[in-house]
Every structure is written in C-alpha cells, then in structure tokens.
C-alpha cells in the first residue's frame, strides 16, 4: 500500500504541559488529530472544572491560526476530591473524565491517590452520572517488581473496582502487558484501553540492550516481547475496547538525559506515522482507521470525525531536536528514518 486515507484520528491520551512548552508541542498534535483527551498532571494538577476550563482556553490560545483542534479536558483525582466536583464535571461540556494516578506511580503524580477504597463514594457518583474514570494502572509498592506493576494493579484493584461499579466506564490507560490487554478484552462492556505507539513498536530491549536509552523510558515501562505482541494483537483485531492514545509526554532533554532521567516519550511529532509503522509490520493497515478514528469516539460517546487525513509511503528523517519552551526536546526516534508521512490534506 502506498497511500492510506482515513477519517481524521483523535488522541485519547495526551500530555500538553502549559505555558511556553505547550506552545511548542500543541501544533504537532493539532496537525494530525482532531481532538485529544488532555492529561491533568500539571504542577499543580488540574483538579477543578474551573481550572480545566481555563487550561482549555490556554490550549486554544496556543494553537496555530486556523487550527480546529478540540481539547477534551480531564480532572486529576486526589484524596480530597469532593463529590460536588464530580457533579460539576458531569454537568460540564468541557470535562470528559477523571484521571486516577496512584500517588508516586509516574511523572507529576505526587498529588495522586494513596488508597482507592476511601474514594468509592466518588466512583459511585461517577457511575451514576456516567463520568468516565481514566486509570494509570500500576501499583507503587516497593516490593513489587516494576515490570509487574500493571498486572498486580489489575488483580488487586481494577478487577474489584469494575465489579463493584458495574456501570462505571473505565479506561485502563496505556496498557503494556498481555494481562492488561486480556483483562480489558474479557471484561464487561464499558471497559476500554488506550495503547501507545511506542508500546506497539518496542520491547524492553530498546531501553536496556547496549546501554541505557533514556528516550525509551516511560511509565508504564516497556515490557518483554510477548507483551508487545499481545498489544499489537489487541490493537489490530477490531475490538472497539482498544483505541489510540499516544501518551506523548514532552520533557526537556536534560531531564531525560540525567542520572535520574524522568519518564515520558514524546511521540506527537510523528504519532500517526509511528502507529502506521506498527500496523504495517503485521499487515494490518486496514485496521488502523477503526483503532485511531472510531473506537475512542464511540467509547466517549462523541461523534466520529468527518474530515479525512492521508498517509503516504515516503521515507523521511524524524527531527533530531525540537524546542520546548526555552529547552531542547529530543523526540522519540530522533534522527531515524520513517517510511510513512501524513500529507497535509
């Protein structure tokens, strides 16, 4: 296949940051995606509807002229989130879900949730008002191996949660394991999952073989090859529970290339090209549109996009460096060749 035209996709998991950094990255997402679910892990986090509405205005103001990108906002769940805030979120046209970060699980998760059970009344309110719950599904216990954190979270926390709240819509974000893919596949309707391009393309060798490669470090961390294969199988099989979420997460280069490099891969510069590369590797380009453009919109009960976007087979070189506010950003696979290119419609 030399050319692929599909309904314009959406990104159901995106970090845009704020201020000058945001101005440098938002155009990459807006170039490809019509909409994106915007993660609330700013510092301080976006915990209220009023803050989400203000953040959304800052995103819109940072867009290039003529861009039609629609940011879909989320609120950051904390130990002190009030029931009233859930009710306000349910009423708000701007907010599309709550994001649950276990405290300490990932970048900017210090204000996250320390225990789930005390929040059960909030989940009941979300269930009653049909507000989706988006979950970073990893335990943080120091005795649990970092490669097992997703699976243990599912067993200990997610399985009981989805049984206890049978109508709550839940997205298990950026799944990385066979257990995650199978849990979502086998669970009741209303449970979905996003999958990143980097988890479809790479296993943990990319991170550790031949040297420590900080630009492959994200959370949840890359896993073994059989897990990557299971994610690919989930992404291409047409199951509406699985949809595109880049988890594109920009960080200044010096914070990733450091004795304690931070987690997050920036993929927005070539997101759809990276997904196309993954789907093509298993001869499944014909399955890309449903995964990228239909399943997420259907899950969030939003209309599917009507514009189209074209990918062409054409070799080009990914940028070496980008700018991020006053800093340098090393994009994912910086300087590497790639075989697909979005040709602007």
What's the min distance (Å) between Cβ of 249 and Zn ion? 6
Q: Which does 264 bind (CB under 5 to 8 A by kind): ligand NCD, Zn ion, none?
A: ligand NCD
The answer to whether 137 and 153 are in contact (CB under 8 A) is yes
Smallest gap from Cβ 326 to ligand NCD, in A, equals 18
Contact 337, 273 (CB under 8 A): no
208-231 burial by CB neighbour count: b if 16+ within 10 A, else e? Answer: eeeeebbbbbbbbbbbeeebbebb
Ordered alpha helix ranges (H), 73-165 = 83-91, 120-129, 149-153, 159-164
Q: Which does 218 bind (CB under 5 to 8 A by kind): Zn ion, ligand NCD, none?
A: ligand NCD
Please give the size of the binding site for ligand NCD, defined by CB under 6 A. 12
List the beta bridge partners of residue 61.
none
Which among Zn ion, ligand NCD, none contacts residue 196 (Cβ within 5 to 8 A by kind)?
none
Both structure tokens of 90? 């349910």
Q: Which stretch binds Zn ion (CB under 5 A): 138-146, 195-203, 247-255, 326-334?
A: 247-255
Contacted by 222, from Zn ion, ligand NCD, none: CB < 5 to 8 Å by type: none
Which pair of tokens denotes residue 115? Answer: 């225990």
295 interface partner picked from Zn ion, ligand NCD, none, CB below 5 to 8 A per type: none
Question: Is-catalytic flag, 84?
Answer: no
- Which C-beta is closer to Zn ion: that of 16 or that of 62? 16
Residue 99 sits in the site that holds ligand NCD (CB under 6 A): no
Say whether residue 247 binds Zn ion (CB under 5 A).
yes
Give the residues across from 243 on adjacent strands: 194
| DSSP string of 62-79, one letter each residue | HSPTT---EEEEEEE--T
Establish if 108 lies at the interface with ligand NCD (CB under 6 A): yes
Q: Does 244 bind ligand NCD (CB under 6 A)?
A: no
Q: Which of 218, 260, 223 is nearest to 106 (CA)?
A: 218
Phi, then psi, of 329 in degrees rounded to 5 = -120, 125
Among the options 247, 286, 298, 327, which is catalytic?
A: 247
Site track 12-41 with ligand NCD (rule: CB under 6 A), x = hit:
---x-------------------------x
Residues numbered 38 to 97 that lie near ligand NCD (CB under 6 A) are: 41
Among 134, 162, 219, 271, binds ligand NCD (CB under 6 A): 219
Map tokens 């979005």 to a residue.
Answer: 342
Q: How far is CA 211 from the centre of its chain?
A: 27
Write down the least CB distance from residue 264 to ligand NCD, Å: 3
User: Is residue 247 within the footprint of ligand NCD (CB under 6 A)?
Assistant: yes
DSSP strand E in the chain: where?
3-7, 11-14, 35-38, 70-76, 95-100, 133-135, 170-172, 191-195, 242-244, 308-317, 322-324, 327-329, 337-343
Closest approach, Cβ 298 to ligand NCD, in A, equals 23
Among 136, 199, 215, 227, binds ligand NCD (CB under 6 A): 136
Q: How far is the CB of 171 from Zn ion (least distance, A)?
A: 12
Q: What's the CA gap between 231 and 71, in Å, rounded?
A: 26
The footprint of ligand NCD (CB under 6 A) covers 15, 41, 106-108, 136, 218-219, 247, 249, 263-264
């Amino acid at each position: 296949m030399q050319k692929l035209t599909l309904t314009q996709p959406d990104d159901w998991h995106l970090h845009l940051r704020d201020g000058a950094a945001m101005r440098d990255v938002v155009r990459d997402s807006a170039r490809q995606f019509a909409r994106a679910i915007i993660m609330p892990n700013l510092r301080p986090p976006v915990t209220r509807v009023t803050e989400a509405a203000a953040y959304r205005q800052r995103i819109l103001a940072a867009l290039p002229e003529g861009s039609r990108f629609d940011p879909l906002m989320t609120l950051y769940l904390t130990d002190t989130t009030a029931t009233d805030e859930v009710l306000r979120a349910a009423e708000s046209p701007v907010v599309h879900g709550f994001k649950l970060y276990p405290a300490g699980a990932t970048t900017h998760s210090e204000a996250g949730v320390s225990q789930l059970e005390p929040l059960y009344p909030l989940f009941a309110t979300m269930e009653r008002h049909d507000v989706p719950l988006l979950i970073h599904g990893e335990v943080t216990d120091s005795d649990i191996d970092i490669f097992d954190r997703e699976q243990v979270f599912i067993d200990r926390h997610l399985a009981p949660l989805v049984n206890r709240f049978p109508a709550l819509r839940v997205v298990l974000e950026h799944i990385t394991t066979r257990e995650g893919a199978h849990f979502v596949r086998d669970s009741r309707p209303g449970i979905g999952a996003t999958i990143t391009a980097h988890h479809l393309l790479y296993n943990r060798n990319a991170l550790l073989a031949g040297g420590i490669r900080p630009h492959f470090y994200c959370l949840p961390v890359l896993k073994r090859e059989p897990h990557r294969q299971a994610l690919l199988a989930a992404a291409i099989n047409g199951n509406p529970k699985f949809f595109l979420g880049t988890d594109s997460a920009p960080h200044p280069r010096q914070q990733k290339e450091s004795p304690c490099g931070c987690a997050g891969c920036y993929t927005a510069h070539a997101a759809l090209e990276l997904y196309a590369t993954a789907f093509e590797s298993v001869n499944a380009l014909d399955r890309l549109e449903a995964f990228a453009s239909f399943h997420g919109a259907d899950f969030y009960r939003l209309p599917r996009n009507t514009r189209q976007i074209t990918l062409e087979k054409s070799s080009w070189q990914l940028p070496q460096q980008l700018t991020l506010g006053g800093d340098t950003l090393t994009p994912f696979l910086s300087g590497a060749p790639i075989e697909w290119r979005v040709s602007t419609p």
